Structure 1
Amino acid sequence: MTFQITVQPSGHQFSCDDDETVLSAAMRAGVGLPYGCKNGACSSCKGKVLSGSITHRPHQRRALTEEEEAAGVSLFCCAIPHSDLVLQAREVAGSGDFPVKKMPSRVASMEKVAPDVIVISLQLPATEVLEYRAGQYIEFMLRDGKRRSYSMASAPGAGPITLHIRHMPGGLFTDQVFSTMKERDILRFEGPLGTFFVREDSDKPMVLLASGTGFAPIKAIVEQMKATGSKRQMVLYWGGRRPHDLYMDALCRQWEQEMPNFRYVPVVSDAQPEDSWNGRKGYVHRAAIDDLPDMSGYQVYACGAPIVVESAKRDFVQQCGLPEEEFYADAFTTEADLAQP
């Protein structure tokens, strides 16, 4: 059975089968609902069901609480319709501008930039071009139908696609990257995916918040803003447990020298005496709060571990007056995150 889905306030409509999710049907129809992980863990696709009946596939309660669900709030990546629906959602302009493709790629280079981080460059077939927005991600298609998602760390049109891959011991893909993968290996992926990119209809100053390899899409965004000569004010807060987790610290300091509208604040949460760290300490989002107690006129772009993204959104909105609709995020969910109840 097929149902009709209407999105308010845009009035856009699309059809959805009774065995697919609302998000999958919207993506197929080119309707730009916001999304991130597509598996019920990050809450990026949250919206409201104004009329109609749905059920949810298994998801994480931190992404959608029982109270929210009772109030009609939905995770569209997990929502299965049982009738025609009217949804309330903030659509993302431009999210469907570039085609999603499946293509092979060759590992062009591998560089270990931290004890547990490798930067991989991918070479595409000579006949292929991947158009995307800075901040989007690709999904590697692995054996047995499994997939792994990684944000592109290079700005569109800036040479090979680069990815920042952190080793997750026991991880199906990252164990391979850190042990047997070599240059010239072939990897298949699908992309571009995701709605984490700069909203260009705004000139508000931007807070860029990254933890660990959440720096990857932020790097692409900064490089794109630099390439286009954007004058928007940007401040990057990049957090890691130890100084070596800020594996491209020198590049960020170089941006600060080259871009008058860019400021960089590195933050370390667990520095050891041998690190000789004299910079900011503690949680990265708390550093932003200390510096910017009033965020009412800002946009925030945050990427990293779910706990960092969730804490930042809660505290920026509640303590700093950030409008909730001006918080844009991409939470890096691992298989370990998804296994949590």
Structure 2
Amino acid sequence: MAYNVTLRQSGRQFQVEPDEPVLVAALRQGVGVPYGCKNGACGSCKGAVVSGQIEQGSHSSSALSNDEKTRGLALFCCATAQTDLVIDVREIAGVGDVQVKKLPCRVNALERRADDVTVLKLQLPANERLQYLAGQYVEFILKDGKRRSYSMASAPHEEGPIELHIRHMPGGVFTDHVFNTMKEREILRFEGPLGTFFLREDSDKPIVLLASGTGFAPIKAIAEHAFFKDIERPMTLYWGARRKKDLYMLELAERWAEDHPNFKFVPVLSEPDPSDGWTGRTGFVHRAVIEDLPDLSGHQVYACGAPVMVESAQRDFTAHHGLPADEFYADSFTSEADLVNAV
């Protein structure tokens, strides 16, 4: 028998089947709730169980701690209902309006942008167009059924191929293929769009865009979407990397700052090499935000990149610098390795 799940804030209800993750049931019925990795690694779908019983599946301890579990929090991507539930989780408008599809695509171009970063461009069939929100991602469906997630770096209004930024993870089945054997015109298959990381356009708050490494990809889509829509809210992009060469689209971000009066760009290097001749900011990228904006109470933050950066930013911004918890939006780039220490 199915169980009823009620969202505490709105009273909206949906049904979940036995052994079906609560998140899967919500998305299946067009209910917009936050999520990212869908496998217990990132913590984006965390919420409270107000009443009822769940069984919490395997997950990363960094995504949900034992202390959080004792306080009634859960990861709904890997939690199944044992009774009817009342849950408290942020609801998201607009996501349910976007159709999720499984589509074939053809590799249109492979452009090496850094030693370990390739820009992959995908051509859809002539009769298909992917509608999505800037910041969302797709999942490649591999031959063995496994999936790999990558954010779309091209804005939704753009005609032509869909752009992804792929970082090489040595030993990774998919990225080894991208960097070593993938050829133009190869056929791939993906599902998308997915995720709840996108610009909230109903706000007038200044925007902080925070990226590390290839976390720049969805941030690029969000920025270019904002420019296209003539959104005039102040935007500041903080992009962190180890060395200058890792800022693989540095000139593009600098051009945005020149062309758009409401946009500022702050690159930050954690380990600049003397050969970089770097005279800009150094250290942890989220600390640069704090140095410039010690009071974040009136801002929105969109953060994407390495889990340690996203987690540190969320903790420090909300606990010590006034950012409302519901104004921190994140897409943490988790991998299979992030589930090694699952609990």
Q: TM-score, normalised by structure 2?
A: 0.98
Looking at structure 1, the residues matched to 203 and 259 of structure 2 have their Cα atoms a distance apart, in angstroms, of 23
| Greater displacement, 283-292 / 312-321 | 312-321
1:97 has 2:62 as partner:
no
| Cα pair 2:306 2:334 within 8 Å, conserved | yes
Secondary structure, aligned partner of 1:113: strand
1:26 paired with 2:10, answer no
Q: How does 1:323-338 map to 2 (within 5 A)?
A: 323-338=324-339
Find the residue that maps to 1:316 and give its secondary structure.
helix
Match in the other structure for 2:317: 316
Q: 1:227 corresponds to which residue? A: 228
**Residue 4 of structure 2 contacts residue 85 of structure 2 at CA under 8 Å; is this kept in 1?**
yes
Distance of 1:318 and 1:15 partners within structure 2:
35
Deviations 1:166-213 (A, max 9, x none): 000000100000001010000100000000001111110010000000
For structure 2, which runs of at least 5 residues remain unmatched after alignment?
none
Count of aligned positions:
341
Is 2:69 aligned against 1:53?
no
The amino acid that maps onto 1:126 is A
The corresponding residue for 1:252 is 253
Amino acid across the alignment from 2:189: R
Supply the distance in 2 between the matched residues of 1:104 and 1:143 (Cα, whole angstroms). Answer: 13
Q: Which residue of 2 aligns with 1:111?
A: 111
Alpha-carbon distance between aligned partners in 2 of 1:120 and 1:62, rounded to the nearest angstrom:
30
Aligned residue in 2 for 1:271:
272
Alignment partner of 1:18: what SS? coil
Structure 2 match to 1:147? 147
For residues 122-153 of structure 1, give each alpha carbon's deviation from its aligned partner in whole angstroms, at most 9, with x where no partner exists: 00001111000000000000021100000000
Q: Shift of residue 18 of structure 1?
A: 1.0
Which residue of 2 is the match for residue 303 of structure 1? 304
Other-structure match for 2:86? 86
**TM-score normalized by structure 1?**
0.99
1:4 aligns with 2:4: yes
Distance in 2, matches of 1:298 and 1:157, equals 26
Distance in 1 (alpha carbons) for counterparts of 2:262 and 2:248:
23
**Alpha carbon RMSD of aligned pairs, Å?**
0.7
Mapped partners of 2:248, 2:60: distance in 1: 31
Q: Where does the alignment leave 5 or more consecutive residues of structure 1 unmatched?
A: none
Listed one character per residue, the Cα deviations across residues 15-68 of structure 1 (whole Å, up to 9, x for unaligned) are 101111000000000000110111111111011111100011100111111111
- Runs of 4+ aligned structure 1 residues displaced above 4 Å come to none
Q: How far off is 1:305 after superposition?
A: 0.5
Q: Quote the sequence identity (%).
A: 63
Question: Which residue of structure 1 lines up, in the alignment, with residue 132 of structure 2?
Answer: 132
- Structure 2 Cα separation of the partners of residues 261 and 94 of structure 1: 26
